[in-house]
Structure 1
Amino acid sequence: MKGARMRVAVVGAGIAGAACARALADAGHAVQVFDKSRGVGGRMSTRRVTSVAGADAVLGLDHGTPGFAAVGADFLGFVEEGQRAGLLARWTPRLAPHSAALQGGAMWVATPDMPALCRALLMDLPLHTLCTVDGVRRSGAMWSIESAGVTVADGFDAVALAIPPQQAAVLLGVHRPDWAVRAQAVPMLPVWVLMGITDAPASGGDWHLAQPASGPLALVLRNDAKPARAALAAQAQWVVHATPDWTGAHLDTPPDQVQALLQAALADCVGGALAWRFAAVHRWLYATLAAVSGDEQTDGAHACAGAWWDVGTGLGVCGDALAGGGVEGAWRSGRALAALVTAGANGDRA
């Protein structure tokens, strides 16, 4: 039937899932979104710090994606629309000596925190947080969503998996074992992240972003220099990404030891000891894409611009790893899957 309205479950509320859900809803489909976290955003995450040495300010440390570039004309148009709506701001940080120049000299950040963009895309859609999806079941022509072995929602015509490929592989195994193998093989790399607040450094220069050429650190940011972030006098807010190689070598190191090692590396980077008021670490197991592989056509499925879609069963996969990585890749992949779902609802099986 042309123009059929489908019920679609989207698993994952990061930028890929949010973009997919928004495009599906705008096309007239009924969408429900499920995510294991207490909020949305996925790797576009912000850690809130509510008490630092008696300060009343609520501070946000963007410990996931620190910012992103916009390259393609379609994504740039989306970003500029977000800027006009007050959701995105362009940031041109002062670079530390010997740091590689940013593409275009700037990056985009969501305001007032990184999850804000996903919140805006999902604001009027049914959202189930703190719901770890551990099964998707197909009975007849309909899908159900399971969490902790219990059916939490059913009656869906289609399911879109917008989660890291290794996590999607677990859900795909029963229905598309060939996809499960492909997803498991996607080369995603882990990253340890240190976030914290210190007294303002006595040395190290007046810079906002450093990309050390060697050592354990890949990226050092002054988070309080970003647009729409709260700043406190005589304090500095840091977000520090370890390199994937260093992270891999310390993947199972206790967090307190990782924190101490990264704090020492940051002190070396700024040229002196730092007085810490707050510090924490977070391990992203699937933080970045190691390499990009093409989407080869598979039997019974359509692949288009970085999304997998099985029109026969109503099962799809999207995410940054399928479209070159990063926020732009995630957005592009989510929208591509939504287009494939809509085409299937309209009877286009080619």
Structure 2
Amino acid sequence: MTPARTRVAVVGAGIGGAACARWMADAGLAVEVFDKSRGVGGRMSTRRATWIATDGTERLSHFDHGATGFTAHAPEFIRFVEQAAGDGLLSRWAPRVAPNSDAPPDASGLWVPTPDMPTLSRALLADLPLHTGCTVEALRRTNAGWTLEGRGSTIGEAFAAVVVAMPLPQAAVLVRPHQAEWAQRAEAVGMLPGWVLMGVSDESAATSEWDLAWPVSGPVASVVRNDAKPGREPVRGLAHWVVHATPEWSQTHLESPAAEVQAALQGALTAWLGHSLAWHHAVVHRWRYASVHASVPRPAHAGAPSAVVTKDGCWWDSRTGLGVSADALGGAGVEGAWYSARALADHITDQPPGSQTPCYA
């Protein structure tokens, strides 16, 4: 008789959760993935929007309103990216940068999932049980294992382990009853919000000469011509915009009405461009936890033997089967999320749930 495979629940289907789930499944674990959104990808997301053109026809547009793209630096992550590119999941993008932009040094070497941002996460999760539109509000541990609860009902149960793969302030809510120290450290991590304007306008000669801009001042952090990215479908005569506000401006206007934020960002874009745009469609989205601002505090008992891993990109308690993966633990950004996921998957396979093997935090 074949022994039952160890069941693991992954809460969060962003790139970190998807990558961790894939590695654990490939190692022989029985993995199920849960996410509150309708789709996967987390902050590597693409918004679909319908709008009515001036001729009365309905149009469909796509906006990559989370991460614009990402870079690869560590050799292991570079190998992963190159393999994904070979599989047709990623394309290299060398955007034309607008004049007078405060561009980062590696702006010319971005990787972009194609044809949309969730492509990479979808591929990693392709053959795994996936539950979307499923908000996990609490974790409960019994003799039978971990139970996932949400909105007054049981979402899943009898898991030997749970991986919480989400921004640390959100992870704190789930882990607090089981790892109070983790929750305290997670809440101390600075995460910055981000308002994003998505819209369609008539194209002008001035805006057709560049693809990406970083204004040097004002409320706008970056301006992206979404239709210029690899795998996207440009429409003649139209410009598809994704405008990210600065973290500071977003924090100040965190609870402002969406209509006010939209008007302010449209006005800021107009001021920066130096001319107005003829808008056909516009909408805003708020990322409450958009980017990492501060590093993860080190534990006071660093160096003490423990079954809890905290030193290299993840948190894992092999005694209870609880783990946390997050970009803030791995170094921020897409690569940080991937690294944290890689570290956690390795620890779970090396120290399975129920193991008392010590390591050093």
Q: Same fold (TM over 0.5)?
A: yes
Q: CA deviation at 1:58?
A: 3.5
| Greater Cα offset, 288-297 or 93-102 | 288-297
Letter in 2 for 1:334: A
* Secondary structure of the structure 2 residue equivalent to 1:103: coil
Alpha-carbon offset, residue 203 of structure 1? 3.1
Measured against aligned partners, the alpha-carbon deviations of 1:34-93 in whole angstroms (never above 9, x if no partner) come to: 000000000001011234415666321000111001111111111111111110000000
Which residue in 2 is equivalent to 1:226?
A: 229
Distance 2:321 2:189 in 1: 22
2:262 is aligned to 259
- Spell out, residue by residue over 1:193-229, the C-alpha distance to the aligned partner (whole angstroms, 9 max, x if none): 0011100035356111110111001110100000010
Conserved 8 A contact 1:135-1:149 = no
Match of 2:39 in 1: 39
Which residue of structure 2 lines up, in the alignment, with residue 133 of structure 1? 136
Q: CA deviation at 1:294?
A: 5.7
Contact in 1 for aligned 2:203/2:238 (Cα 8 Å): yes
**Which residue number corresponds to residue 191 of structure 1?**
194
Unaligned ranges ≥5, structure 2:
none
- One-letter code aligned to 2:152: G
1:24 and 2:24 aligned: yes
Cα offset, 1:292, TM superposition: 2.4
1:312 aligned residue:
319
1:172-251 equivalences in 2 (<5 Å) = 172-204=175-207, 206-251=209-254
The whole-number CA distance in structure 1 between the counterparts of 2:79 and 2:58 is 38
1:140 to partner: Cα distance: 1.8
Residue from 92, 95, 98 that aligns with 2:97: 95
1:65-80 mapped onto 2 (5 Å cutoff): 65-80=67-82
Partner residue, 2:347? 340
TM-score of the superposition, structure 1-length normalised?
0.95
Which amino acid is the alignment partner of residue 13 of structure 2? Answer: A
Asked whether the 8 Å contact 1:224–1:230 carries over to 2, the reply is yes
Q: What is the CA-CA distance between 1:319 and the residue it aligns to?
A: 1.1
Instruction: Please say if residues 198 and 242 of structure 2, whose CA atoms lie closer than 8 Å, have aligned partners that are also in contact.
Output: yes
How many angstroms apart in 2 are the aligned matches of 1:269 and 1:26? 49
Q: Displacement of 1:167 after TM fit?
A: 1.0
> Is the partner of 2:339 in helix, strand or coil?
helix
Determine if contact 2:198/2:241 at 8 Å carries over to the other structure: yes
Any stretches of 5+ residues in structure 1 without a counterpart? none
Structure with the bigger RCO (C-alpha within 8 Å, sep 6+) is 1
Equivalences for residues 267-278 of structure 1 within 5 A: 267-278=270-281
Residue 203 of structure 1 aligns to a residue in which SS? helix
Superimposed CA distance per residue, residues 311-346 of structure 1 (whole angstroms, 9 cap, x where no aligned partner): 111000001111111000001111111111111129
Q: C-alpha distance in 2, partners of 1:275/1:104?
A: 29
Local SS of the residue matching 1:137:
strand
Aligned-pair CA distance for 1:149: 2.4
Aligned residues: 348
Once the two structures are superposed, residues 269-323 of structure 1 have per-residue CA deviations (whole angstroms, 9 ceiling, x without a partner) of 2220000011000000000001224654475411242100011110000011111
Pair 1:58-2:60 in alignment: yes
The letter of the residue matching 1:149 is: G
In the aligned structure 2, how far is the partner of 1:71 from the partner of 1:205? 31
With 292-301 and 38-47 compared, the bigger mean Cα shift is at: 292-301
Q: Secondary structure at the match of 1:251?
A: coil
Q: 2: CA distance between counterparts of 1:101 and 1:247?
A: 21
Q: Are the counterparts in 2 of residues 4 and 345 from structure 1 also a CA contact under 8 Å?
A: no
Percent sequence identity over matched residues?
A: 55
8 A Cα contact 1:203 1:271, kept in partner: no
Task: Report the equivalent of 1:9.
Answer: 9
| Corresponding residue for residue 324 of structure 1 | 331
Q: Distance in 1 between matches of 2:20 and 2:186?
A: 19
Q: Which amino acid aligns with 2:143?
A: G
Return closer, same or farther for 1:165/1:293 CA change in 2, 3 Å cut-off: closer
CA contact (8 A) 2:98 2:212 kept: yes
Moved more, 326-335 or 137-146: 137-146
| Secondary structure, aligned partner of 1:114 | coil
User: Following the alignment from structure 1 to structure 2, what is the Cα–Cα distance between the partners of residues 61 and 151?
Assistant: 34
Instruction: State how far apart, in whole Å, the 1-side matches of 2:69 and 2:107 are.
Output: 13
Local SS of the residue matching 2:209: coil
**Contact 2:188 / 2:296 at 8 angstroms: preserved in 1?**
no
Cα distance in structure 2, aligned partners of 1:255 and 1:243: 16
**TM-score, length-normalised on structure 2?**
0.92
Is 1:188–1:287's contact at 8 Å kept on the other side of the alignment? yes
